[in-house]
Amino acid sequence: MNFYKKIQVLGGSAKYDLCGSYLCTSPPRKRDPLGRWIYPAVLPEGKTILLLKILLSNACENDCKYCLNRCSRDFHRMGYQPDGLAKLFINLFSHCKVQGLFLSSAVCTSVASTMEKMIKTVEILRFKYRFKGYIHLKILPGAGFDYIKRAVQLSDRVSVNLEAPSRDRLKSIASDKNLDKDILLPLKWIKVLRSEKTGAPAGHTTQFVVGASGESDKEILKTTSMLYSEFDLTRAYFSSFQPVPGTPLENHPPTPLLREHRLYQSDFLLRKYNFKFEEIIFDSSKNLPLSRDPKQIWSLTHPERFPVEVNTATKQQLLRVPGIGPKSAERIVRMRGRNNFYTLEELRGVGVVVKWVRPFILINGKKQSGGFQCRLFP
């Protein structure tokens, strides 16, 4: 197999694993002239780096219905040996093409032998090439405790993909995987290892294939919320299902990106705005309405909570106002201690989105007219 063709295929296959939402990939992901896949990823401290995302192998033993690498799909299989992949990465790194690695793989021969090779790749990078940069290592469903422990020790971030929000949903699209034994148990081990400060300082994550199993947004967010509270998950990613030719779901409709976007917005409410799952508003089909931002919908259905006076409201009250985010709420509370706010322009100066905020606030007791039209607040 031609060297560049291999990078193209195994890098291209890795695109289905997300390392950032499309909301925060700026600049957007790109493919260089050789076909290698390079993605911007936002680190927990807010810095953006370029990741090489690649599979160790695309030869899978499993037969997940949505996946291009499933064993019953007819296409050419290939893979790297650990030293070859480590060398490829270091070559790109030394030419300043990438700054970090996102390594995943299909289940090649067995989960154990694939995890062995993935870990070997990372060990070569860490110890032979002394690479100290960012590594996100995907943990395969069903991996044993010792592999998980080593992965956590060596990596900045690890992840195990849930794919679907319940046992039945997962069974319907990935019959080889057992939600409790293969996915939740590894996530529990990772939680314990991280609580002992064993490694993975950038946390542990998961991903859902949105729309593949007929699940609702309510099911996805309920499971996500449970993972945050019971498994200390750092964050969840949502990947819109896109049909792949030659799979049982090739005629299944693709999931609109707007649905993925609304899930990310709601996930932000859970993680950054102190919303509880029970406060997220769904439509009659148990999905997030696509027509409006979830926080705006919550605000419009709670007129008793508005308007809030920006010069006296608590940070929690400010966080409920459309157009005020965690950073701007923080700045308002900090700055008004010295000087009260008097105008919308002053609020704009601390990052408030003025067009959204007007109907929901008072500034020194005064209502703000214009901007976003809100039927509930005449």
> What is the number of H-type helices and E-type strands within the chain?
13, 11
Distance of alpha carbon 152 from alpha carbon 149, whole angstroms: 5
Strand partners, 370: none
Strand partners, 308: 361
Q: Smallest gap, in angstroms, from Cβ of residue 9 to ligand SF4?
A: 13
Selected binder of ligand SF4 within 7, 54, 107, 350 (CB under 6 A): 107
Under DSSP, the state recorded for 246 is T
User: How far lies 106's CA from each of 23, 70, 119, 168, 372, in Å?
Assistant: 27, 8, 14, 22, 48
50 forms part of the interface with ligand SF4 (CB under 6 A): no
Q: Smallest gap, in angstroms, from Cβ of residue 109 to ligand SF4?
A: 12
H-type helices in 95-240, by residue range?
Answer: 111-123, 145-154, 167-173, 185-195, 217-231
Site for ligand SF4 in 133-192 (CB under 6 A): 174
Comparing CB distances to ligand SF4, the nearer of 114 and 155 is: 114
Comparing CB distances to ligand SF4, the nearer of 99 and 239 is: 239
For ligand SF4, how many residues bind (rule: CB under 6 A)? 9
Comparing CB distances to ligand SF4, the nearer of 10 and 67 is: 67
80: nearest Cα among 114, 51, 48, 110: 114
Distance of alpha carbon 349 from alpha carbon 146, whole angstroms: 51
108 forms part of the interface with ligand SF4 (CB under 6 A): no
328 forms part of the interface with ligand SF4 (CB under 6 A): no
62 forms part of the interface with ligand SF4 (CB under 6 A): yes
Considering only the stretches 58-66, 114-122, 276-284, 285-293, report the one whose residues sit in contact with ligand SF4 under the rule CB under 6 A.
58-66
Whether 346 and 338 have beta carbons less than 8 Å apart is answered as: no
Considering only the stretches 66-74, 179-187, 195-203, 326-334, report the one whose residues sit in contact with ligand SF4 under the rule CB under 6 A.
66-74
Q: Smallest gap, in angstroms, from Cβ of residue 59 to ligand SF4?
A: 9
Comparing CB distances to ligand SF4, the nearer of 60 and 101 is: 60
106 forms part of the interface with ligand SF4 (CB under 6 A): yes
Strand partners, 100: 51, 134
Distance of alpha carbon 78 from alpha carbon 80, whole angstroms: 7
3-class secondary structure, 376:
coil
Considering only the stretches 62-70, 145-153, 179-187, 227-235, report the one whose residues sit in contact with ligand SF4 under the rule CB under 6 A.
62-70
- The residues binding ligand SF4 (CB under 6 A) are 60, 62, 64, 67, 69-70, 106-107, 174
